[in-house]
Amino acid sequence: MHDILQKVINSERIDKDDAHYILDNINTLDIGRIAMIRKNSLDPSTNVSFVIDTNPNYTNICETDCSFCAFWRKKEHSDSYTLTVDKILEIVKTSYHNGATTVLLQGGHNPELRLEYYLEIIDKITSEVPNIHLHAFSAPEVFSVAKYSKISTKEVLKNFWNHGLRTIPGGGAEVLSNRVRKRISPLKIDADNWMRITEEAHNIGFKSTATMMFGHAEEDEDIIEHLFKIRNLQDKTSNFLSFIPWTFKPENTFMENKISTEIGGDRYLRVLGLSRIFLDNFKYIQGSWFTQGFKVGGVSLHYGANDVGGTLLQENVLKSANNPYRAGIEEIVHIIRSEGFQPIQRDTFYEKIKEY
């Protein structure tokens, strides 16, 4: 442990063996202490940010059938839906009037939707609600649009960019290990394609986030591989804005009966702390009150998290898995303050909007 601590104190990088050592041998409280040394060297302030956002989904029709997902439906299903562009615009306008500065827009892989649908969404939102930032279409969606529209992913991304999209969410990464992906989402793009599309986006100029959804079929080795991959890409492009780890919610999914329990706070905090120590080139890491609840979400701020994500005025994906956690601005400000930090409302680029 002393060697790892010394590396972090000296702002040096840790390697994969160090990462294994941390998960195998260091107690949870000490992981938190080391994570905070790393966090303070990257961000010495006591600020913890959040964004007022909304997370509508334009369709729940999806042919990718991930076994961890409670949201998707086949077209024939009675509650399948695809929103018209005008309906999406109406949701965005309402969210804007309710204070949202970001709309995080994602959806299923619906073979009937082509490039034109996505471009119309971008055009209408950027022209009719210019003060809300559209943060939309993760790497697996880019792959699907390319497939259904019979063009390359690079062409899809260039079209998105030319129509005014500037950031894409890091969704669909789950754990960037092909061994894990074969088990939980065999029809989804593999880890190499997720990395390739994200790099293509960064090279065009997009900023994005990196996510990790864990607590299902992965081993420590897979988590460390995931962190290693995104750290390498951040070295190349510097276009990841933040890292967002969150935990699997099994209810209503095909994996519900295969996984006896959801992972608890201790494992979540250990992985969060490791992420902060390993990712020495990410300024912002998000703590997840949304999947871990307010108590553990608050404690995450002592394990290197310096952002707590969005207020999620609307959210459907984890709602489908009966996720009970909801918070407005007051609750989020309270979580941050009660742990001794300064709440900051931010925009999608992590720039300060307002201090609370």
Q: Should residue 62 be labelled a site residue for ligand SF4 when binding is judged by CB under 6 A?
A: yes
**Should residue 299 be labelled a site residue for ligand SF4 when binding is judged by CB under 6 A?**
no
Place of tokens 């307002």: 354
Per rule CB under 6 A, is residue 273 in the interface with ligand SF4? no
* 170 is a contact residue toward ligand SF4 (CB under 6 A): no
Instruction: Tell me: does residue 108 bind ligand SF4 (CB under 6 A).
Output: yes
Q: Does 71 bind ligand SF4 (CB under 6 A)?
A: yes
- Nearer to ligand SF4 among residue 234 and residue 320 (C-beta): 320
Long-range contacts of 291-297 (CB under 8 A, 24+ apart): 291/246, 291/247, 291/249, 291/318, 291/323, 291/325, 292/246, 292/247, 292/265, 292/268, 293/325, 294/325, 294/327, 294/331, 294/335, 295/265, 296/265, 296/268, 296/269, 297/335
Q: In angstroms, rounded to a whole number, what is the distance separating the alpha carbons of residues 195 and 268?
A: 24
Q: Verify binding: residue 181, ligand SF4, rule CB under 6 A.
A: no
Q: Which of 64, 82, 237, 314 binds ligand SF4 (CB under 6 A)?
A: 64
- Applying CB under 6 A, does 169 fall inside the site for ligand SF4? no
Is 72 one of the binding residues for ligand SF4 (CB under 6 A)? yes
Nearer to ligand SF4 among residue 62 and residue 277 (C-beta):
62
Query: What is the DSSP secondary-structure string of 177-240?
Result: -HHHHHHH-TTS--HHHHHHHHHHHHHHT-EEEEEEEESSS--HHHHHHHHHHHHHHHHHH--E
Q: What are phi and psi of 110, to 5 degrees?
A: -100, 115
Tell me the window of 67-75, 158-166, 205-213, 233-241 that interacts with ligand SF4 (CB under 6 A).
Answer: 67-75
47-51 and 342-346 strand pairing? parallel
Residue nearer to ligand SF4 on the CB measure, 244 or 333: 244
Q: Decide if residue 249 touches ligand SF4 (CB under 6 A).
A: no
Nearest approach in angstroms of CB 71 to ligand SF4 is: 5
Among 48, 51, 69, 197, binds ligand SF4 (CB under 6 A): 69
Residues that bind ligand SF4 (CB under 6 A): 62, 64-66, 69, 71-72, 108-109, 140, 185, 188
